[in-house]
Structure 1
Amino acid sequence: MKQLYFALLKHREISIKDLSELLGLDERILYSKIKELGRYVTIVNNKIKLNDPLLFAIQLLKQGYSFKDVTKYLDWHDFEKFSAEILGAHKYIVKTNFRLTKPVRLEIDVIGIDLGSGRGIFIDCKHWIHGISRKTLMEIAEKHILRIKKFIKYYSWAKTKWTYFRYLRKIVPIIVTLTTPSIRMHENVLIVSIQELNSTLLDLNMVLDLFGIEPIPVY
């Protein structure tokens, strides 16, 4: 099954015939094994499509497969998409890859806004497969807080780019990593792994209190 899982992660979409030849498995046997994967795959017109590569990869990690083997097939798009989906599941309105080009250049990976409270989650995704050192995490957090301060300074420009920014009242800065981070907070920035993002959002107020993180007012 290991070869099957990694082939799906690598190719994302492939015909049953090609996958059968690649793995040296009879098509009927392969089809039965694919069906066991349930919601992770879709089969249409004899083509197999991996529905959510990052979610599938995380499931493989939970099953004990090598972190190095699994994550080499992931890319930044998988990581940001999954972060956005988690925010959406918590009723945030979500925007990915927000860019401001004037009067300054600014980019934020994932933004979620809760329309009721006005709370915004501003996420910087770091999907580095080999983990991130404590020093590097601190530097990333410092850059992220500067990025948010720049956003607030030019908020009047930013809110013309996305209508939901007009609901924004305060910002929670978060760094999301692929691996478990060596530190959890720096410069008022929360640092969590992608596996922890859902539970973090479930108990966000408690988590912010625990680490002494203060949401940043927009104005």
Structure 2
Amino acid sequence: MRQPHSRWNRARDPERVSQQLSWKDFEQLAAGILSSLGYRTRTNVRFTKPRMELDVVGVSAGLAIAVDCKHWSRASLLSQFCTKQAARAQELVRRDSSIREAVPAILTLHAARVRFAAGVPVVPVAQFRSFVIDVRGFMEEIRVVRQGPA
């Protein structure tokens, strides 16, 4: 029996596929996963005063997942990036009254498993879909930004 084409096998592995993508395509992959799970998505959401940008935002039933896509791995700076992503999520909640709570997250190519820095999940692309599906089940364990006084 003939084996499936090797390109087909690679295409089924999100991590392998995403390594071949540009940063823009990587953001579109994240948005596509969120969209396929019923989230309304926006990419490159920019704010001024303070100036900041969110790579991908998915919103469903008042919950936003605010994603920063990292195409590289810099473990030494991870905590700093997670803290900045939490601040961006806070700004998103402050500016968009339709969002009651937001989960800041870092999406990466290089993590072997979901881990946390400063309470922010760092999610490997291969596990992003299951992370999004399960996010409401473990919100007590992760950093969640909510409307109201900080």
TM superposition score normalised by structure 2: 0.80
The unaligned stretches of length 5 or more in structure 1 are 6-36, 38-54, 63-69, 159-164
Q: Which residue of 2 aligns with 1:162?
A: none
- Which structure has the highest helix share of the two? 1
Matched residues in 2 for 1:141 and 1:183: separation?
A: 13
Identify which of structures 1 and 2 has the higher relative contact order when contacts are C-alpha pairs closer than 8 Å and 6+ apart: 2
RMSD of equivalent CA atoms: 2.8
Deviation at 1:83, TM superposition (A): 0.4
TM superposition score normalised by structure 1: 0.57
Q: Which residue of 2 aligns with 1:205?
A: 136
Q: Which residue of 2 aligns with 1:189?
A: 120
| Aligned partners of 1:124 and 1:174 also within 8 Å | yes
Matched residues in 2 for 1:142 and 1:176: separation?
A: 14
Deviation at 1:166, TM superposition (A): 3.5
- Which structure has the highest strand share of the two? 2
Deviation at 1:60, TM superposition (A): 8.2
Q: Which runs of 4+ in 1 moved over 2 A?
A: 55-62, 146-152, 205-209
Identity %: 28
Query: What letter is aligned with 2:147?
Result: V
**Which is greater in Rg?**
1
Deviation at 1:59, TM superposition (A): 5.5
Q: Which residue of 1 aligns with 2:106?
A: 175
| Aligned partners of 1:109 and 1:124 also within 8 Å | yes
Deviation at 1:100, TM superposition (A): 1.6
| Corresponding position: 1:216 with 2:123 | no
> How many positions carry a matched residue from both structures?
144
